[in-house]
A and B are shown apart, each in its own frame.
Chain A
Amino acid sequence: MSQRNITIEELVELVSICAGVRTDVATASTSTFEELGVDSLGVLGIIAEIERRVGRKLGPDAELVPSPTALIAFVAEGDVVTADGV
């Protein structure tokens, strides 16, 4: 059975596996992918892994999300949400 959402802890793990960037929950929660040093191809890899975990496609808009918190919201809401520029 597929999970429905992803957590910030999972995303920290995926950032490390897919993009080779080590971070922590506090930093990931308040940074953009760019600030973390994750490039656009890294974001694509992270999205592909999330799609496998949640068992559905997130669509082309997913790669436009600027940050880990926005990506978590996108997986939950299916929409691009940006809060306070993060």
Chain B
Amino acid sequence: MPTAWWNMASEGPASEGPASDGPASEGASIEAPVRRITGPLDSVTSSALRVGEVLRVDGVIWALRDATLIRIFDEGKAPPVDLTGAILLHSAPSIRKGEDGHYDPVSVGTTTSMRMDRFTRGCVEQLGARAIVGKGGLSRTSGESLQAAGAVYLSIVGGAASPETQQVDAIEETYFEDLLPECLWKLRVSNFGPLFVTMDSTGASAYEEVARRTEERRAKAEQILGI
């Protein structure tokens, strides 16, 4: 039965690296051991993460998506903040603007990463991001960029925005407000996740592994259909 990649990968060195606090009891309702990391990430931690690990994040995560990335890379307008070590999240939250001008999250969820695939290299090379959180995975080309930069792709459960929203303590800063809701958002998070390491700095990709296995299983599906 289909357990191989998950079990194999979780045998890796899961608890080394300076930003890790080791398995946390707060993730106890989730069966696998959970590793805590903090954003921004240092390069030792990001390059030690391995496909199959389950993570929770504390600290800062930066949300951005299509329009933000087009602004930064296609229009050449660098964000006015240092994103070295950043954990990026492919997201455009629903927000409510308070009377003092700050934004409160109404719904923070995660969008399909493949639409932003061509910006991966810029994110890790130019901006210095060390992790990209999204859903659905990135291409092999992006995987090579992540590998070269010692960065990782982390999968969240898409569509499950209500718990995700509760893990966002505050929206601390907002840039490119004219792109609302596709701004660059600085989020303060606690126990954010679970996130699944699905592309790592060794070049391993859980998505490629599943795609390879799906091709192997195509014959079984065709047999059921009698084609």
Q: Do A and B come from one complex?
A: no
Give chain A's interface residues, CB within 8 Å of chain B. Answer: none
Give chain B's interface residues, CB within 8 Å of chain A. Answer: none
